[in-house]
A = this chain, B = another copy of it.
Amino acid sequence: MDKILRQSLLYDFYGELLTEHQKSIYEDVVMNDLSYSEVARLNGISRQGIYDLIKRCDKILEEYESKLKLVEKFMKAKEKADMMKDKIAVLKEKNADKNMFSLIDELDSYTSELLDDF
């Protein structure tokens, strides 16, 4: 998995366990793609300070993942949901019964929304 994608997923699941200060800087660097120098300037911290903070946050987030494995579990559920979307697409294609159209559509929507809460 791409590093930024992994950092984003870890942050989505465990970000709330970081301090406000850590969150703010992690978001600027990882989610908003600002440069270390820019975030350093904006926060009145050295570039090295930002680098260390990001590294420390990565370590904290990875430690939570090693214990709770939420990203891993989420990716597996996402895979299953994607396979369901494929099956539903085939179902839509094969179905000739007008009474079943809306039912299949509803099922499709539910599948799309199912993991949105996470």
A residues lining the B interface (CB < 8 Å) = 13-14, 16-17, 64, 67-68, 70, 73, 76-77, 80-81, 83-84, 87-88, 90-91, 94-97, 99-100, 103-104, 106-107, 110-111, 113-115, 117-118
CB of A118 within 8 A of CB of B77, answer: yes
Q: In the complex where A94-B99, A117-B73 touch, is A110 in contact with B13 (Cβ < 8 A)?
A: no
| Separation of A14 and B13 alpha carbons in the complex (Å) | 12
CB of B97 within 8 A of CB of A95, answer: yes
Chain B min CB distance to A94 (Å):
6
Q: In the complex where A73-B117, A103-B87, A103-B91 touch, is A110 in contact with B80 (Cβ < 8 A)?
A: yes
* Chain B: CB-nearest residue to A118: B73
CB of B94 within 8 A of CB of A103, answer: yes
Q: List 24 A-B contacts (CB under 8 A).
A: A14-B68, A16-B67, A16-B68, A17-B64, A17-B68, A76-B117, A77-B114, A77-B115, A77-B118, A80-B110, A80-B114, A83-B110, A84-B114, A87-B107, A87-B110, A91-B103, A91-B104, A91-B107, A94-B99, A94-B100, A94-B103, A95-B97, A107-B107, A114-B114
